[in-house]
Structure 1
Amino acid sequence: MTILGAVLTGGRSSRFGSNKAQALLGERSLAAHARALIAPHCADVVMIGGEGGVPDLPEPGLGPLGGIAGALDYAAEHGFRCVLTIGCDMPRLPDGLIEALLHREPSYCADAPVLGLWPAALGAHLLAHLGLNGDRSVRGWARSVGAIPVPSPVPLANINTPADLETL
């Protein structure tokens, strides 16, 4: 299976106060940490949203679903079968969680639905969902396509504020 990795970097970072994708944890940005987590499982990894990234679809400002839609479109155009998505604010994951997602398609982390494995063929469905439906919940869309929720064995680190980053 040819998998595209997609790090979602296009959020507003309103609670963080600055671009959290570029915030440093150690000597690497949060986006670089997220990329490193998924890269071993993917043929290629792209940044979605944010400056210089693959654009959200159908437009910026739609939250994670816009980023996932952009990733699915990019994957379909470039011959990838699936997309493994992760938020830039997820610098650490428990062992085995990505592997559990890779055994189910479509699937998502029940504790952080932006972490998911999505067939590229779902792109048109997601664009229609965004165009017809006011619901921008990743979990809601995932349910509508029959995605399987995979629980994390431990609580996930998610960086929303500078204090979260400092704690980590």
Structure 2
Amino acid sequence: MTGILGAVLIGGRSSRFGSDKAQAMFGDRSLAEHAAAALKPFVQEVVMIGGEAVPDLPGPGLGPLGGIAAALDWGASRGFRCVLTIGCDMPRVPDEVFETLLHRAPAYCSDAPVLGLWPSALGAHLLSYLEVGGDRSVRGWARAVGAIPIASDVVIPNVNTRDDLMAL
């Protein structure tokens, strides 16, 4: 197995935003491109997960866990040891958060749980977890696999609405 895959989750409904927030412009790049750029120094490759790019698993409508499941499957099938995930709506993440996550796997940011480092081998577990139903939150699954919550020393901006984007 090789190193770490970076996965930007772009498949959400963007219902509070009003349009596809992954493609919303922030400066000269889309939010998804900003998230990918934040990952790039810490991973060997970056992939967009969700929508038509790499579809959520086992299907759409499962929230971030469907995206994480697809990312783990994509990473495992290409020989990546771990997957570092980020939401497309997180254009500014301090390098220190990534550096801390990279020393522990599985681990996630307790303030923004979609931001996490997951061993690719957990993909089958996540698919089973989703089939059983129950708690579909990232935190719920993270607890189920014993992931370590990592607190950030700074607030990580999350863009859910157009007002959030304008505030950045």
- Deviation at 1:134? 2.4
Q: Give the match's secondary structure for 1:2.
A: strand
Whole-angstrom distance in 2 between the partners of 1:50 and 1:13: 12
Q: Is the counterpart of residue 48 in structure 1 residue 49 in structure 2?
A: yes
The alignment's C-alpha RMSD in Å is 0.8
SS of equivalent to 2:32 = helix
Residue 29 (structure 2) pairs with residue 28 (structure 1):
yes
Runs of 4 or more consecutive aligned structure 1 residues displaced over 3 Å after TM superposition: none
Provide Cα deviations, 1:121-151, integer angstroms capped at 9, x if missing partner.
Answer: 0000000000002211000100110000000
C-alpha separation in 2, matches of 1:80 and 1:54? 16
Q: How far did residue 32 of structure 1 move?
A: 0.2
CA contact (8 A) 1:10 1:48 kept: yes
Contact 1:94/1:153, CA 8 A, preserved across alignment: no
| TM-score, length of structure 2 as denominator length | 0.98
Residue 108 of structure 2 aligns to which amino acid in structure 1?
Answer: Y
- For residues 33 and 94 of structure 1, the distance between their equivalents in structure 2, rounded to whole angstroms, comes to 12
- Structure 2 gaps of 5+ residues are none
Deviation at 1:155, TM superposition (A): 1.0
Q: Identity of counterpart residues, as a percentage?
A: 71
CA contact (8 A) 1:6 1:46 kept: yes
Aligned residues: 167
**Equivalences for residues 1-168 of structure 1 within 5 A:** 2-51=3-52, 53-168=53-168
Q: So what's the TM-score if we normalise by structure 1?
A: 0.98
Separation (CA, whole Å) in 2 of partners of 1:50 and 1:14: 15
8 A contact 1:24–1:30 mirrored in 2: yes
